[in-house]
């Protein structure tokens, strides 16, 4: 990494001159000293404000002037200002949010003087002044140091704000401890149930019982409560209520308090050794619309996905995030360590069936999702009854997605699609990550899946030969021995295009945004692709022709009708 003051001599000279000019024309800058701390260039200075002396250190960052210098007390244990981060750095007029490379270190020191002069940290209370903050912090910034948090969505907040005065309730909470942070989730409060929590979440995490109470005390009075004894006194003094910190119908102890003031504002406390520690609230007011209009009806569609490998898993997850609620998932394979490179699952799912792990993940995304799974191989050695049951359920879905890249499975799904008049959508990721194929066959709008596949094979015959040797799925070897492997990014691109085709097929049968139903998508130069992101549509509209049933003579038709009628009569008996 280049060192700025060695490579940018003009800027170093500019910084030196600016500080020299500042020291010459102001009387509050008592001393100035340049220094090196490792590879970092620093300036130590003494600032006089209201008869007090403040020793500061300005440190130029590695990427100066793209980033602002850091100014802090020269002693790490000094905290002067309300505009000071926990690291000791002062929050000045310029920061990462409004920095401009023309600002100098001298201007940062001037800003430090203005802050100290106005706040007068070492002065008496009557001499201090409040300096307004220029900052707006996101909830993520403000909660960085909060280890204990509680997630509060709007339905819960509205319920608590409407809680009757002097009412006592009991809450069940679950908590998650990860990344040195403990997050609480309210499961139930009396008649209120948090329907947004997935069943798998409810079964997995530890449970606690809390007390819920609304007092007639003011918000300021509630803020002063810091012990369980103080809580009991507050309820007695304001409401003439005697609280007990045990569950009314059980032996458990209360481990937390939801205390609501007279205005309906709730505060959350954790009980520890008779002390109440207030918990930071993560207010989740996510009501804004985040799904496109044309996807709104996707929740009413039932989608079958066969193959939950690297492509199928991505398609299932993306569809669930964009509103799909009803899935029928089929895959017999296990998730193994080698799958980590391109799959949406992770180490926690090793040795589980992919279909079951994906179903659990979808339920975490959408707790209301209706997901059926079966871990069978449709064209493998399975019981006839199991395969027949799966085929019937596939035929009852609105859309069928083949993410297996298996010819036998495709043939079976093509038959199901044609006989049940349900659209079939499929994809293929080319070995080496050179690109991929997405295609669909919609009854009445496209040729049959088999006809479209034949057209694709004819296109490949008419195209230049694919010069690489396919070694394994996603892997190819060039003529000079170089091995190419499709990455997760390559698979994700094809999977995302496939997902868009599934959505369009499910929601826009008569008004598709795609003029073609088969596309070859290039991800690198080679074979038929002139450059990355080269997209080649294959026109199949001319292949669409009416399917004709095989005609039978009247005698055969009569015999078949009589045979079926006899079966129905036997069933009635």
Q: Is the pLDDT of residue 551 over 70?
A: no
Coil, helix or strand at residue 174? strand
Tell me what pLDDT residue 34 has: 95
Res 141 pLDDT > 50: yes
How confident is the model over 344-370, as pLDDT tens digits? 999 999 999 999 999 999 999 999 999
pLDDT confidence tier of residue 135, bands split at 50, 70 and 90: low
Instruction: Out of 4-18, 110-124, 130-144, 210-224, pick the least confident.
Output: 130-144
Cβ distance 539 to 516 under 8 Å? yes
Please tell me which residue, 481 or 400, carries the higher pLDDT value: 400
Question: For residue 126, what pLDDT is reported?
Answer: 65
Confidence of residue 30 (pLDDT cuts 50, 70, 90): very high
Q: What residues does CATH 3.10.110.10 cover in the chain?
A: 4-132
Phi-psi region of 248 (alpha: psi -120 to 50; beta: other; left: phi over 0): alpha
H or E element, residue 401:
strand 399-402
- Proportion of the chain in helix, strand, coil states, percent, rounded to 5: 35, 25, 40
What are the start and end residues of each CATH 3.40.50.720 domain in the chain? 298-543
Choose the weakest-confidence range: 23-32, 76-85, 148-157, 344-353: 76-85
pLDDT of residue 549: 47
- What local confidence, expressed as pLDDT, does residue 145 receive? 87
Q: CB 42: neighbour CB atoms within 10 A? A: 18
Convert the pLDDT of each residue in 246-303 to its tens digit.
765 555 688 999 999 999 999 999 998 889 999 999 999 876 567 888 888 999 999 9
Q: Start-end ranges of CATH 3.40.140 in the chain?
A: 143-284
The stretches of 329-448 forming alpha helices (DSSP H) are 354-365, 384-395, 407-420
Residue 546 confidence (pLDDT) above 70: no
Contacts of 426 (CB under 8 A, 6+ apart): 401, 402, 403, 410, 413, 438, 439, 440, 449
Residue 76's pLDDT is what?
74
Q: Say whether domain 298-543 belongs to CATH 3.30.710.10.
A: no
Percent of the chain with pLDDT over 90: 73
Question: How far apart (Å, rounded) are the C-alpha atoms in residues 385 and 477?
Answer: 42
What is the structure's pLDDT at 222?
95
- Report the distance separating Cα 541 and Cα 529, nearest Å: 23
Regarding the domain delimited by 143-284, which CATH topology (the fold level of the hierarchy) does it fall under?
Cytidine Deaminase; domain 2 (3.40.140)
Name the residue among 247, 256, 253 with its Cα closest to residue 277.
Answer: 256
Q: Whole-model pTM above 0.85? A: no
Helix H, strand E, coil C: the string for 299-358 is: HHCEEEEECCCHHHHHHHHHHHHCCCCEEEEECCCECCHHHHHCCCCCHHHCCCEHHHHH
pLDDT at 46: 96
308-326 mean pLDDT: 96
Q: Which two tokens stand for residue 549?
A: 């049933």
pLDDT tens for 188-229 read: 999 999 999 998 899 888 899 999 999 999 999 999 999 999
- Residue 374 has a pLDDT of 97
* Mean pLDDT lowest among 155-164, 196-205, 390-399, 491-500: 196-205
Can you give the pLDDT at residue 134?
Answer: 64
Identify the pLDDT of residue 156.
Answer: 95
pLDDT score, position 571: 61
What count of Cα atoms within 13 Å lies in the side-chain half-sphere of residue 487? 4
What pLDDT, in 10s, does the model give residues 405-439? 999 999 999 999 999 999 999 999 998 889 999 99
CATH 3.30.70.1560 fits 4-132, yes or no: no
CA distance 412 to 390: 12
Residue 36: per-residue pLDDT: 95
Return d(Cα 449, Cα 418) in angstroms, integer. 8
């Amino acid at each position: 990494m280049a060192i700025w003051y060695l490579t940018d001599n003009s800027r170093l000279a500019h910084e030196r001159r600016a500080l020299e000019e500042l020291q010459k024309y102001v009387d509050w800058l008592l001393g100035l000293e340049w220094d090196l701390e490792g590879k970092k260039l620093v300036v130590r200075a003494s600032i006089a404000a209201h008869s007090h002396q403040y020793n500061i250190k300005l440190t130029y960052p590695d990427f100066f002037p793209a980033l602002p210098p850091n100014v802090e007390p020269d002693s790490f244990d000094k905290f002067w200002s309300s505009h000071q981060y926990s690291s000791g750095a002062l929050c000045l007029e310029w920061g990462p949010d409004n920095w401009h490379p023309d600002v100098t270190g001298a201007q940062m020191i001037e800003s430090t003087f203005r802050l100290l002069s106005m706040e007068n940290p070492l002065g008496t209370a009557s001499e201090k002044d409040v300096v307004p903050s220029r900052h707006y912090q996101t909830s993520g910034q403000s909660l960085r140091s909060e280890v204990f948090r509680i997630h509060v969505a709007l339905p819960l907040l509205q319920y608590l704000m409407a809680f009757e005065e002097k009412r006592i309730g009991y809450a069940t909470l679950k908590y998650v401890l990860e990344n040195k942070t403990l997050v609480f989730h309210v499961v139930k409060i009396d008649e209120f149930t948090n329907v947004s929590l997935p069943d798998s979440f409810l079964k997995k995490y530890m449970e606690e019982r809390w007390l819920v109470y609304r007092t007639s005390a003011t918000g300021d009075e509630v803020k002063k409560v810091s012990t369980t004894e103080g809580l009991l006194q507050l309820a007695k003094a304001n409401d003439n209520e005697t609280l007990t910190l045990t569950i009314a119908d059980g032996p458990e102890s209360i481990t937390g308090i939801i205390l609501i003031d007279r205005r309906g504002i709730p505060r959350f406390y954790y009980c520890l050794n008779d002390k109440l520690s207030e918990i930071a609230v993560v207010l989740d007011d996510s009501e804004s619309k985040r799904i496109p209009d044309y996807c709104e009806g996707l929740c009413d569609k039932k989608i079958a996905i066969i193959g939950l490998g690297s492509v199928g898993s991505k398609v299932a997850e993306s569809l669930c995030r964009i509103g799909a609620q009803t899935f029928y998932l089929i895959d017999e394979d296990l998730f193994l360590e080698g799958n980590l490179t391109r799959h949406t699952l992770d180490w926690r799912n090793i040795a589980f069936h992919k279909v079951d792990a994906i179903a659990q993940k979808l339920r975490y995304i959408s707790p209301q999702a209706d997901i059926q799974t079966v871990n069978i191989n449709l064209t493998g050695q399975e019981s006839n009854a199991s395969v027949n049951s799966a085929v019937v359920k596939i035929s009852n879905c609105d859309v069928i997605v083949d993410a297996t890249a298996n010819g036998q499975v495709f043939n079976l799904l093509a038959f199901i699609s044609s006989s049940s008049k349900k659209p079939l959508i499929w994809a293929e990721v080319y070995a080496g990550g050179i690109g991929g194929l997405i295609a669909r066959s919609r009854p009445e709008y496209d040729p049959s899946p088999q006809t479209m596949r034949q057209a694709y094979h004819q296109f490949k015959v008419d195209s230049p030969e694919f010069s690489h040797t396919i070694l394994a799925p996603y892997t190819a070897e060039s003529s000079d021995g170089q091995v190419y492997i499709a990455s997760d990014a390559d698979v994700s691109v094809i999977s995302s295009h496939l997902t868009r085709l599934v959505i369009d097929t499910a929601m826009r049968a008569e008004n598709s945004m795609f003029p073609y139903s088969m596309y070859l998508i290039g991800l690198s130069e080679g074979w038929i692709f002139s450059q990355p992101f080269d997209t080649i549509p294959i026109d199949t509209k001319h292949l669409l022709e009416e399917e004709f049933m095989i005609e039978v003579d009247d005698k055969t038709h009569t015999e078949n009708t009589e045979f079926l009628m006899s079966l129905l009569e036997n069933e009635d008996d």
